A = this chain, B = another copy of it.
Amino acid sequence: MKERKYAISPKRDEDYSQWYQEVIKAADLAENSPVRGCMVIKPWGFSIWENIKKELDIRFKETGHKNAYFPLFIPISFLEKEAEHVEGFAKECAVVTHHRLEKGKNGGLVPAGELEEPLVIRPTSETIIGAMFSKWVQSYRDLPLLINQWANIVRWELRTRMFLRTTEFLWQEGHTVHATKEEAVEETLTMLNVYSNFMENNMAMPVIKGRKTDNEKFPGADISYSVEAMMQDRKALQAGTSHFLGQNFAKASDIKFLDKDEKLKYAYTTSWGVSTRLIGCLIMVHSDDDGLVLPPKLSPLHIVILPVVPNDKFKNKVFEYCDKIKKQLSDITYNNSSLEVFVDKSEIPGGRKKWDWVKKGVPIRLEIGPKEMEANEITLSRRDKSPYENSSLKSGEFIKNAQKILTKIQNSLYDKADKLLKDNTKTIDSKEEFYDFFTPRNPEKPEIHGGFVHAYFRGDEEIEKKIQEELNVSIRCIPLDEENIKEEGKCLFTGKPTRQKVIFGKAY
């Protein structure tokens, strides 16, 4: 049997990394810009970000946070206030040194008006927000202070990849201040749960919540938590982080408050964020060899209607009928708003038009032509199934069941991703097996390997560094639901007894 054609070339198992770029291109999500490492997010890609933003923003507000906006610029002296923090970010900062341009000797423009103190473009905002918080927080009555910011961020990355790692990216950063350690830790975990809830319910993506090792934590944090997801190449992607910052930034920025006991105390702070990286994550978890696959709860369109017009005689009638179906569908509520339906009346030939929408990942396609009109039917295709598969349904029947079908698609995407994660996570208790698991099966495709390892590990930083060097493997996290487990086991590497189980993987 001849293999069917696929819309994306190369396929995932041929060249995963190239496949990823091709999916982005085919769905018209984004493209590289003339500015090194910066991408342009095109309308289809940006509308996915708008949906991510909308969903998260509701959750942030429900948990008591308010949005605000802080400066893009951070004076160098602010960055220097927290030692680990500056160490972590100094190597990749865009630095503003001048405030105008003037004609140079060769006629071209050159920087002029040198600043007394250079400014860094925010790689994250703990220090500049901390400076404001130290003014806003005076008494225990001002606490907790729960702020979020949607903003652009710049980190001068050496190697960039669209959505996953770009010089400029969009994100949200939550910053909160609390009177007690307990409350701040609780906030850190609450937001981690907000993220995992969003990722599982809306992105249809199972995640592992866990604590980062000291090696991997945020520069300046006491504890970092993350949500980790498995991509289809079985590599791990850190999808979001939530940090308990202890009193480190409170001390650096002088955030003090007069407590009920009339004593002046340093506060405890947290920060947490997700970024446009989530779009890369979404692509790599669900998409297939025909292009992007969008979970209905984040897709800018739920249903695209493709009118089938054999000749111009039928055109208006078919269009009218399609518009009628669209109108009826638009009255239906899905995920707390109206169904988004689009009738594609463009003059693109039918085959290409269908494949354009397949590649864009819209959950449901309806084909409606004179034949369907007469029978009062629609031809239904689901993006979670083969593009060659379809079924006929009475229009009324479809409209009645549209919500249910979308829910089925959402669930089937989750189940598939969950199966991938479970099938490729292995409990391992020997070093030999560990090395074997992470050694590529095929030397020509070094990116394909075992997946995640779930193992007892005592926490030796030397070993952590060694496996990073030798296998490019790191500890993704210490899963939350397994911290302080009762059953003692033997450390995978040292054989010594430990109660700590971790997840190992190769990371993006």
Give me 8 A-to-B residue pairs in the complex whose CB atoms sit less than 8 angstroms apart, sorted by A's number.
Answer: A33-B132, A34-B75, A40-B132, A72-B154, A86-B109, A90-B109, A96-B96, A101-B120
Pair B33/A79 contact, Cβ less than 8 Å: no
| CB of A321 closer than 8 Å to a CB of B | no
Complex CA–CA separation, A300 to B74 (angstroms): 30
| CB of A69 closer than 8 Å to a CB of B | yes
Complex CA–CA separation, A46 to B149 (angstroms): 10
Contact residue among B46, B90, B109 (Cβ-Cβ distance under 8 Å from A68) = B46
Pair B33/A100 contact, Cβ less than 8 Å: no
| CB of A108 closer than 8 Å to a CB of B | yes
Q: How many copies does the complex hold?
A: 2
Interface magnitude class on chain A: 35 or more
| CB of A76 closer than 8 Å to a CB of B | yes
Pair B111/A97 contact, Cβ less than 8 Å: yes
Q: Which of A17-65 contact B (CB under 8 A)?
A: 31, 33-35, 38-43, 46-47, 49-50
Pair A69/B46 contact, Cβ less than 8 Å: yes
Q: Which of A63-97 contact B (CB under 8 A)?
A: 66-76, 78-80, 86, 90-97
Pair A41/B66 contact, Cβ less than 8 Å: no
Complex CA–CA separation, A80 to B40 (angstroms): 21
- A110: chain B residues within 8 A (beta carbon): 118
In the complex, how many angstroms separate the beta carbon of A320 from the nearest chain B beta carbon?
A: 21
Complex CA–CA separation, A111 to B47 (angstroms): 37
Pair B73/A35 contact, Cβ less than 8 Å: yes
- A100: chain B residues within 8 A (beta carbon): 90-93, 95, 156
On whether A95 and B111 interact (CB within 8 A), knowing A67-B47, A67-B50, the answer reads yes
- A120: chain B residues within 8 A (beta carbon): 101
Closest B residue to A66 by CB, please name it: B43
Closest B residue to A101 by CB, please name it: B90
Closest B residue to A99 by CB, please name it: B156
In the complex, how many angstroms separate the beta carbon of A146 from the nearest chain B beta carbon?
A: 10
Complex CA–CA separation, A202 to B282 (angstroms): 37
On whether A34 and B78 interact (CB within 8 A), knowing A66-B43, A72-B152, A132-B40, the answer reads yes
